[in-house]
Amino acid sequence: MFGGIGKFVGETRQELNKVTWPTRDELVQATAVVIITTFIMAVFIGCVDFVLSIAMRLLLG
């Protein structure tokens, strides 16, 4: 059982050495894109929610 775990860990390390890791600048840029996109989507969903809640109040009295 433990031999299988050791083999798994060894193979995992080999695969991780093959990965092309992003540079710090690429990582910062990707993070900024995610944060900005999340903010834009939050504002959009908030606006849609606001408009729909007003519409529902008008329809339901």
Give domain status of residue 10, yes or no: no
Q: Which range marks the domain in which residue 48 is found?
A: 22-61
Give domain status of residue 4, yes or no: no
When divided into structural domains, the chain yields a total of: 1
pTM of the model: 0.67
Give domain status of residue 2, yes or no: no
Residue 11: C-alpha distances to residues 14, 15, 17, 22, 29 (Å): 5, 6, 10, 22, 31
Give domain status of residue 42, yes or no: yes
At 1-19, the pLDDT tens digits run 677 898 999 999 999 999 9
Give domain status of residue 58, yes or no: yes
Is the four-CA dihedral 16, 18, 19, 24 of positive or negative sign?
positive
Give domain status of residue 38, yes or no: yes
Give domain status of residue 60, yes or no: yes
Give domain status of residue 12, yes or no: no
At 17-58, the pLDDT tens digits run 999 999 999 999 999 999 999 999 999 999 999 999 999 999
